[in-house]
Amino acid sequence: MDYNLENKLDNISDSKCDKEIISNIVETANENKVIFVRLQFVDILGIPKNIVIPVNRLEEALDEGMPFDGSSIAGYATIEESDKIAVPDPRSFMILPECIEKRKTAKINCDIYEPNGKRFIGDTKYVLEKIVDKAREMGFIYNTGPECEFFLFKKEGENSTIIPNDSAGYFDLSHRDLAEGIRADISIALDSLGITTYTSHHEVSDGQHEINFRYADALTTADRIITLKYVAKVIAKIHNLHASFMPKPLFGHNGSGMHTHISLFKGDGYNAFYNPDGDNQLSDVAKWFISGLLKYIKEITCILNPTVNSYKRLVPGYEAPTYISWAYRNRSALIRIPTCRDNSTRCELRSPDLSGNPYLQFALILAAGLKGIEEKELPPDPIEKNIYSMSLQEIKKSNIGQLPESLGHALSFTKNSMLLKDTLGKHILDNFLHVKYKEWDEYRTQITKWETDYYLPVL
């Protein structure tokens, strides 16, 4: 958001009408010579969609919303009930930097409504808003901080390849890291949009990178993830590269995840996960939350890891979790508790990836954690030993479960989950299952080159 505009909005009292807010946004757009405005939202899979309007229609859109046909948007509606209204959220107004848009363009996030004025139940942002409201009613503010990993691949003409842009390694500071300037360009662009980069560095695999921003409330963070993915792709294209958030694009290399740091704060600003007198200074709330995540992780995995390719990442040997456990130091665990305490106390869920819809991902993480708080069940003992070095007998004796091994396996836990039915609602759950079962069926009936190379010569 434009900072001058942000100050204007903050200074408007609740008693004043929305006309003043609209006037300030339109004034800011005109002062900055904006030509076009992108009215942005996402489909059920988290793919950004937008309606582009000339700036002279901005006031109309802010005042009345913008009607559109949702029949061709994944998870939205049938042809018979396709009319929807995109209602801009004034506080999300941003003027895009020139490195992103050559023509002076702004963007604003939209909530989706029915023509009768009711919120559209297929709006995935609405799902997150509702569970955040539930947390607030329980006395908690829900914060998330993701670690966003991605690959930069070379292009041949207009076509993308899977050739990494460099051969640097983890945290490398050398001539091999050819993307330091690209990461800097992404960070500068994000900063111009009010998103301050926390850290950025080269990751383990060739051509793999990570950019993080400071934690925030989950709705803000989900918005920022959508923006980060868009900005990274645009900046990469300027450098004749392709930015990919595919979880596992390269065989034999680490995949890209979205390790998510989670905390609950009370209204007084006190971290609800912290107890100076608790075991390892964790509160019962933190332990109940962890217990809920562990208990319901199989049911929510197909949202956290929603593609066929996601499960190529969740295999032993590549620093991604496969077992359902938690720990303080052990990085082979699904949930890790970073060493910081006091208001920095948090848990890190290591399984999600960036191929998903962040609004649904954060919603179900919270739903599982709140369920654990309601049930008040303590988690099993933390597993500090490297699980990958344990025998199957040791794993079984320790009652360590395993994450689903494929999209089809994950869907089998999701389809009958009451947690998902209650959190997502029938419309989103049914549409998601329809799309993902179709994806799984298409994948499992394919004949791959590996199969013909392996079996044809001997069978």
Cα radius of gyration (the chain):
23
Return all residues near 390 (Cβ < 8 A) that are at least 6 apart: 398
Distances (CA, A) of 29 to 35, 40, 49, 108, 195: 8, 17, 21, 12, 20
Q: Which of 2, 111, 123, 147 is labelled catalytic?
A: 147
Catalytic residue at 114? no
Catalytic residue at 210? yes
The tokens for 231 are: 């900005």
Q: Which of 149, 166, 206, 299 is labelled catalytic?
A: 149
Q: Which of 38, 183, 209, 259 is labelled catalytic?
A: 259
Tell me if residue 359 falls in helix, strand or coil.
helix
Residues 79-97, buried b or exposed e (16+ Cβ, 10 A)? eeeeebbbbbbbebbbbbb
Catalytic residue at 129? no
Give φ, ψ of 118 to 5 degrees: -90, 150
Q: Which of 43, 166, 203, 206 is labelled catalytic?
A: 203
Strands 105-113 and 83-88 turn out to be antiparallel
Neighbours of 241 (CB within 10 A): 24
Catalytic residue at 203? yes
Smallest Cα–Cα separation from 152: which of 227, 224, 232?
232
* In contact, 111 and 125? CB cutoff 8 Å: yes
Distances (CA, A) of 100 to 106, 143, 194, 207, 240: 11, 28, 14, 22, 14
Catalytic residue at 375? no
Catalytic residue at 261? no
Tell me if residue 145 falls in helix, strand or coil.
strand
Catalytic residue at 434? no
The number of residues in the chain equals: 459
Tell me if residue 45 falls in helix, strand or coil.
coil
Smallest Cα–Cα separation from 357: which of 411, 410, 303, 311?
303
Amino acid letter, residue 38: R
Catalytic residue at 137? no
Catalytic residue at 149? yes
* In contact, 68 and 77? CB cutoff 8 Å: no
Say how many Å lie between the first and final Cα of the chain, rounded.
62
Amino acid letter, residue 18: D
Q: Across the chain, which distance is largest between two alpha carbons, in Å?
A: 78
Q: Which of 123, 210, 299, 353 is labelled catalytic?
A: 210
Q: Which of 185, 202, 350, 353 is labelled catalytic?
A: 350
The tokens for 72 are: 């061709």
Q: Which of 69, 98, 441, 451 is labelled catalytic?
A: 69
The tokens for 425 are: 């609602």
List Cβ<8 Å contacts ≥24 apart for 199-203: 201/170, 201/171, 202/166, 202/168, 202/169, 202/170, 202/171, 202/172, 202/177, 203/149, 203/170, 203/254, 203/256
Q: Which of 136, 176, 331, 434 is labelled catalytic?
A: 331
User: What positions carry a catalytic annotation?
Assistant: 69, 147, 149, 203, 210, 259, 331, 348, 350
